[in-house]
Chains A and B, each alone.
Chain A
Amino acid sequence: MTEWVLKGITSGIKTTHYPDKPETESGISPGLPDTTELNKVDTSVTQICPTGAINSYGYELRVDRNKCIHCFKCKYGIQRPVNWDKGYEWASVVKEAELGRSFEQSLHIRFVDAGACGACISELEQLNKPYYNMHRLGFFMTPSPREADILLVAGPVTDHMKAPLLKAYEAMPEPKRVIAIGACALSGGIFGPSFISGKGVNELIPVDIAIPGCPPPPLAIIHGLLLAVRHKEPAKGKVRQ
């Protein structure tokens, strides 16, 4: 057993300094397309975009981040690509209502996979690993919705998962918050409204915080959780529908 202790010590501290300092390592986020002036970009991107996330408003192209699935069709393979936001602080508050003061301390989180592809789940797993380690911020995963403050939902909510999701939501004690992670949970993503799934979590239960991305990188999820405890400001520049 001593060699494990030694190995643990020699590995050093890997954990990111976010949210105290911004994380600057390469490869932490795939980025999202950003608002671009119309004369600087191929306007054909509005047609190329498979989920219709990019639309023109006046003199600029705006991006509905909740729909973007990182297909890179507006970045690679065209003459003049759109601007690219390499950051990760993307989470935004959906409901206008204040989140309240009861959520300023430690939080317990129940995660529900409502038909996600596995990438969102994998990114969520990374949060429990040394590089992100969300326990240091007071966030804990719990197996039971009875003791959860926050319901994390990923996936486009398939018909089979509607009842379990509703049950989990109703089993949670008040006050409670719902965070939707990933393009699928926010808008249906690439699956869109189909015969088996709807347009995301909002159709079934009210979403309080939206974390866009496909999948959202771990730091974006941490930003969303910090938003719930009011330690961070929401992202700017989100297009309201």
Chain B
Amino acid sequence: MEKIAEGNTAEHAILLSERFSGTSAFAHSMALCHAIETISDIKVPERARYLRIIFAELERLRQHVNAITAICNSTGFSVAASQAGILEEELLRVSCHVTGHRYLFGLNTYGGLTIDVTEEAIKTILENVENIIKQLNRLERMLYRSNSFLDRLEGVGILPVHQAISYGVVGPVARASGINRDLRKALPYGGYENLEFIVPVEYDGDGYARLRVLFEEARQSANIIHNAANILPAGSTLSLNRKILSGSALSWVEAPRGAAFHWVDIGEDTRINRYRLTTPSFNNWNGFHRAAEKFAFQDFPIIMATFDLSTAESDR
């Protein structure tokens, strides 16, 4: 896919970047937009910066709910899976209601966003997210009281911290193994430096720790959406200066599954010379086998679900 981007326009590359991984489309396209904006010295309007954060966190929230659904499903706990599935579909519907697309495709462009949202739309997001977090909290409490469910997760699929470091795992998986690393805090980008949030870290490295991290991050995402909506300035969402210059730049983003780096080189003809990226699932697949070793075969799908792996992200 990096090869397909070569020789194409920047706009085409942004459409491609959304489809590296359809379920974290907004994060990846945001990273590529940041890179192009750095090269061309485009200043993104404040409103667009904070709207991007709101959408990126909405996507993270949805992806984490999706992961929680998958974990419940893998343990054969269909009532909980259905309950989490309801929340996921509601988040998809909110995304589509506000932006027009269920997976937030076609929103990012260099210089800002292609759409603007109304006050009412922001209110809809906030109300829905608040409601969903309330239900998610209840679901969490009930899950933590279900012994049959916890038996399948506790002490299963342990990835110790030294292996997590040597295999370079990222995202919620790394944070559940005791690595306190989140690019939103470590290398703040696109306005995250002005927002307060907590990076949850667990030290057990098992499936249960990964589930706890997912729940806590979902809550933090909801907080970020609230805070960003509170300080959302008025104005336009698309920069007037959208001239692309040549050069190369690196940008990064904390995608729902972990850290992603995008490097892009644009030639004199404003077309892409070379595009290179690292995706979180690619790193996590490498570490996954260490967690699955030594555990029963029946635990395999559960460990896989707690890693929240994407096959599409491995194919760059």
Which A residues lie at the B interface, using CB under 8 A?
1, 3-5, 7-8, 11, 14, 25-31, 50, 69-73, 75-77, 113, 115-123, 125-126, 128-132, 158, 189-192, 194-196, 214-215, 217
Residues of chain B within 8 A (CB-CB) of A14 are 86
The number of residues on chain B lying at the interface, defined by a beta carbon within 8 Å of a beta carbon of chain A, is 48
The answer to whether A119 and B82 touch across the interface, beta carbons within 8 angstroms, is no
Q: When A29-B96, A158-B315 are in contact, do A72 and B106 touch as well, CB less than 8 Å?
A: yes
Residues of chain A within 8 A (CB-CB) of B238 are 77
Residues of chain B within 8 A (CB-CB) of A5 are 79
Shortest CB-to-CB span from B91 to chain A, Å, is 10
Is B231 an interface residue, CB under 8 A from the partner?
Answer: no
Q: When A7-B142, A27-B92, A190-B15 are in contact, do A122 and B23 touch as well, CB less than 8 Å?
A: yes
The answer to whether A28 and B1 touch across the interface, beta carbons within 8 angstroms, is no
Bound complex: CA A190 to CA B105 (Å) = 12
The answer to whether A28 and B93 touch across the interface, beta carbons within 8 angstroms, is yes
Residues of chain A within 8 A (CB-CB) of B315 are 115, 158
The answer to whether A215 and B93 touch across the interface, beta carbons within 8 angstroms, is no
- Listed by A's residue number, 10 A-B pairs whose Cβ atoms lie within 8 Å are A27-B92, A30-B105, A69-B15, A71-B106, A72-B101, A76-B106, A117-B25, A119-B23, A129-B81, A215-B103
Is B3 an interface residue, CB under 8 A from the partner?
Answer: yes
The answer to whether B22 and A118 touch across the interface, beta carbons within 8 angstroms, is yes
Q: When A31-B100, A50-B11, A119-B25 are in contact, do A73 and B106 touch as well, CB less than 8 Å?
A: yes
Q: When A117-B22, A118-B312 are in contact, do A126 and B89 touch as well, CB less than 8 Å?
A: yes
Is B21 an interface residue, CB under 8 A from the partner?
Answer: yes
Is B88 an interface residue, CB under 8 A from the partner?
Answer: yes
The answer to whether B22 and A215 touch across the interface, beta carbons within 8 angstroms, is yes
Bound complex: CA A125 to CA B145 (Å) = 27
Bound complex: CA A75 to CA B11 (Å) = 16
Is B94 an interface residue, CB under 8 A from the partner?
Answer: yes
The answer to whether B312 and A217 touch across the interface, beta carbons within 8 angstroms, is no
Bound complex: CA A5 to CA B83 (Å) = 12
The answer to whether B4 and A119 touch across the interface, beta carbons within 8 angstroms, is no
Shortest CB-to-CB span from B132 to chain A, Å, is 13
Q: Is the interface of A mostly helix, strand, loop or mixed?
A: loop
Q: B21: which of A69, A117, A130 is its contact (CB, 8 Å)?
A: A117
The answer to whether A116 and B312 touch across the interface, beta carbons within 8 angstroms, is yes
Q: B15: which of A71, A116, A118 is its contact (CB, 8 Å)?
A: A71
The answer to whether A27 and B86 touch across the interface, beta carbons within 8 angstroms, is no
The answer to whether B101 and A129 touch across the interface, beta carbons within 8 angstroms, is no
Bound complex: CA A126 to CA B97 (Å) = 17
Q: A129: which of B20, B89, B312, B313 is its contact (CB, 8 Å)?
A: B89
Bound complex: CA A130 to CA B83 (Å) = 8
Shortest CB-to-CB span from B7 to chain A, Å, is 11
- Knowing that A7-B79, A113-B311 are A-B contacts, what are 19 other residue pairs whose CB atoms are under 8 Å apart, sorted by A's residue number? A4-B79, A8-B79, A11-B83, A26-B93, A50-B15, A72-B100, A72-B101, A76-B106, A76-B114, A115-B312, A117-B25, A126-B92, A130-B82, A130-B85, A190-B12, A191-B1, A192-B4, A215-B103, A217-B102
Shortest CB-to-CB span from B29 to chain A, Å, is 11
Q: When A117-B21, A117-B22, A131-B85 are in contact, do A194 and B106 touch as well, CB less than 8 Å?
A: no
